[in-house]
Amino acid sequence: MKPKGEKPAKEAAKAEAKPEEAKRVTFGIDKNADFNEWYNSIVRKAELCDLRYNVKGFVVFQYWSVAAMKQMYNILEAILERKRHKPYWFPALIPEKNFNLEKEHVAGFAPEVFWVTEHGAGEKLEEKLALRPTSETAIYQMFSIWLRSYKDLPFKTYNRCQVWRYESKATRPFLRSREFHWIECHDAFANEEDARQQVREDMQITKEFLLDELGLPFIFFERPQWDKFAGAVNTYAADQFLPNGRLLQQPSTHYLGTNFSKPFNVKYLDANGKEQYCHLTCYGPAISRIFAGIVIAHGDSKGLRFPFNIAPLQAIIVPILFGKNDEAVLKYAESVRESLAGKFRVDIDLGEGKPGEKFYFWEMKGVPCHIEVGPKEAEEKTLTVVWRDNGKKEKVKLGEINRFLEEGGKALSQRLKVQALESFKGMIGEAKSLEEAKNLIEGGKVVKVNFCAIDKSGEKCAEAIEKGFGAKVRGKRMDIEEKPAGNCIVCGAKAETVVYIGREY
C-alpha cells in the first residue's frame, strides 16, 4: 500500500523544507456550504476516478471506488438471489432491428445510442449494432424462446453489466457519464397482479440495499405519466436529496405491462392451454451512481466516510515509531495485520510521514477506523482504535479486537445512517401556494404540495411549475399514503394527490 496524495500537492511539497509534513494534505471543505466544490475535490483527492481519459464523457474508475463498488455488487447480488433472481450475461451488442420493435422505447433511447457499424479496416457490418443503452430489446427476444408454459413463470433474471449512453447533458463522475456500471433485472409474470407485486418487491430490495445496508435515505415515488421510462406503463423511482437541494434519481423499477411482450412475442400457455402474453417488469440499480450517493450522503468536511461493509479498507494500522523499539512495534503491527486479514480488509501504513499526517490522510479516504500501534501497545498486547466519524479513541485487548471491530463497524454504519436520515428529513418542506413552494425550493428544500393529478391531466400544471422556478413534479410517495386536503397549488382544482417537487440534479 502506497498512499499517494494528489500529484500537484506532492510536487509542491517536494519544494518545501519539511516535505514529509506537507506531503499528506487535509481536506477541509464544507459539504453544505459549497457542495459542488466539495464533490469535485473529494473525487480527485481520494482518487475515486480520473477524468483525464481521452474519450468525452468516459472516466477511469480507480481502485478506491472500485474496491467499494465490488462490495456493493456482492451485497446487491446476494439480495437479488435471495429473492430468486438468477444471474445471466446478455450480449452488449443489440441489432438495430430489435431496437426498433417497441416504438416508445426507440423514441426514448435512440438519441442516446452509440452504434457499431464497422470492423477491421473499415469494413461495414451487415447490420448496425447498438451498444446497449439498456437491454430490454436484447433480453425479451430470448424470453420469447425460453418461456412456454405457466410453469416457467415467474422467470426472474439479473444481468451485471455496463451500459453506454450518448448523454447530451453535462457529465459528472459517477453521477452521469456515457458509460456506467449497473445491474438490470428483467422479470416475466403470468399476469398484471404478479408483475405489480414484483415492482413492490423491487422497492423493498432498494430499501434493503440503499437504506439498510448503505445507510442511504430516499423516497420512492410513482412518477407522473409524463415522466416514465420509455415503453413503461408505470415508472417508480427512488429520489435521494443532495445537500444543494437537488434531487438525484436512484434505482427505478418499471411495470411494462404487455408493451414489450407483444412486439417481442413473449407468450406462455396458461393452465387451460390458452396462449397469453407475459407481463414484464424491469429494475435498474446503477452501482456507480449509488456509490456517488454514498459519497455525498456520508462525507463530511474531513473527506469520505464509508459504511463499514463496503469500505475498501475497514481499518488501517498506523505504527507509532519513536526511534527505539521500532522493530518490536513493526513486528507487532504486522502480526496484528495478519490476524485481522482473514476477517477484515485491513492494511498497515508503512509510508513516509508522521502519524498525524497519516491519520488525516486515511480520514480523508473514509476508512472507518485507524489502529494505533506504538511501544506501549506492543508491550501490553493492546491496540488503540480511533473511529472515523466521531473521533472516539478506545483501547482494546488484542484478543478482543475481532469482535470489537465487528460490533464497532456496525455501530459506525448505524451512526452514519442516523445522521443521513436526519439531514434528509430536514430537507422536506411543505407549501400551500406556488409562492411558498418557490421560496422553499430556492432555500434548498424539497417541497410537498397538493396537486391535481399525475395522470396526463396534470401535465400542464407540472409545466407551469417547471417554467416558474425550475422544479419538477417527482410524483406520489409510495412508502406511505398521503391524502390531499385542499386544491392543486397551480390550477386550484381539487387536488387528487400529494406530490413532491424539487429541482433535478
Q: Which stretch binds its own copies (CB under 8 A): 29-37, 119-127, 220-228, 416-424?
A: 119-127
Residues in the chain: 505
Q: How far apart are CA 429 and CA 113, in angstroms?
A: 38
| Strands 234-241 and 247-257, bridge-based pairing | antiparallel
Helix H or strand E segment including 256: strand 247-257
Residue 271 is a binding residue for its own copies (CB under 8 A): no
Phi, psi torsion values for 429, nearest 5 degrees? -115, 175
**Angstrom distance (rounded) from CA 175 to CA 240:** 12
Nearer to its own copies, 10 or 415 (CB): 10
d(CA 202, CA 196): 10
> Which of these segments, 32-40, 106-114, 299-307, 380-388, binds its own copies (CB under 8 A)?
106-114
- Residue ranges in 17-56 that form contacts with its own copies under rule CB under 8 A: 50, 52-55
What is the C-alpha separation between 291 and 499, in angstroms, rounded? 27
Q: Is 117 in the site for its own copies (CB under 8 A)?
A: yes
Q: Binding to its own copies by residue 8, rule CB under 8 A?
A: no
86-105: contacts with its own copies (CB under 8 A): 86-95, 98
Applying CB under 8 A, does 115 fall inside the site for its own copies?
yes
In the complex, the smallest distance separating the C-beta of residue 385 from its own copies, rounded to whole angstroms, is 24
Query: One symbol per residue from 165 to 184: x for binding its own copies (CB under 8 A), - otherwise; what is it?
Result: -x------------x-x---
Under the criterion CB under 8 A, does residue 128 sit at the interface with its own copies? yes
**Shortest distance, position 18 Cβ to its own copies, whole Å:** 17
Counting contacts by CB under 8 A, is residue 83 touching its own copies? no
Least separation in angstroms between CB 67 and its own copies:
6
Q: Which helix (H) or strand (E) holds 59?
A: none
Site membership for its own copies, residue 120 (CB under 8 A):
yes
141 binds its own copies (CB under 8 A): yes
The correct pick among 12, 34, 44, 114 for binding its own copies (CB under 8 A) is 114
Q: Which of 15, 17, 145, 271 binds its own copies (CB under 8 A)?
A: 145
How many whole angstroms separate alpha carbon 162 and alpha carbon 180?
5
When binding is defined by CB under 8 A, the residue of 16, 30, 118, 422 that contacts its own copies is 118
Rounded to an integer, what distance in angstroms lies between the CA atom of residue 370 and that of residue 388? 8
Residue in 7, 169, 324, 483 binding its own copies, rule: CB under 8 A: 7
Which residues on adjacent β-strands are paired with residue 472? 502
CB 359 within 8 A of CB 339: no
Q: Select 65 or 206, whichever has its Cβ closest to its own copies.
A: 65
Closer to its own copies by CB, 1 or 485: give it.
1
- CA separation for the pair 86, 107 (Å, rounded): 30
CB of 387 to its own copies, least distance (A): 25
Cell numbers that stand for 64 in this block:
478506491
Q: Which of 22, 42, 59, 313 binds its own copies (CB under 8 A)?
A: 59
Beta carbons of 224 and 472 less than 8 angstroms apart: no
Whether 112 contacts 167, CB under 8 Å: yes
In angstroms, give the least distance from the CB of 186 to its own copies: 12
In this structure, the number of other CB atoms found within 10 A of the CB of residue 440 comes to: 23
Q: Which stretch binds its own copies (CB under 8 A): 158-166, 274-282, 364-372, 391-399?
A: 158-166
Spatial contact of 371 and 398, defined as CB atoms under 8 Å apart:
no
What would you report as the CA-atom Rg of the chain, rounded to the nearest whole angstrom? 26
**Region of 82-90, 223-231, 371-379, 468-476 interacting with its own copies (CB under 8 A):** 82-90
Distances (CA, A) of 222 to 186, 233, 273: 19, 11, 35
Is residue 253 a contact residue for its own copies (CB under 8 A)?
Answer: no
| Distance in Å, CB of 94 to its own copies, minimum | 8
Count Cβ atoms below 10 Å from residue 425 Cβ, excluding itself: 10
Q: Which member of 13, 75, 101, 131 binds its own copies (CB under 8 A)?
A: 131
Taking the C-alpha atoms of residue 158 and residue 81, their distance in angstroms, rounded to an integer, is 9
Alpha-carbon distance of 64 to 45, in angstroms, equals 11
Q: Which is nearer to its own copies, 131 or 211 (CB)?
A: 131
Taking alpha carbons only, the member of 48, 23, 53, 66 closest to residue 162 is 66
66 touches its own copies (CB under 8 A) = yes
Tell me which residues touch its own copies (CB under 8 A).
2, 4, 7, 10-11, 50, 52-55, 58-63, 66-67, 69-70, 77, 86-95, 98, 110-122, 128-129, 131, 138, 141-142, 145-146, 148, 151-152, 157, 162, 164, 166, 179, 181
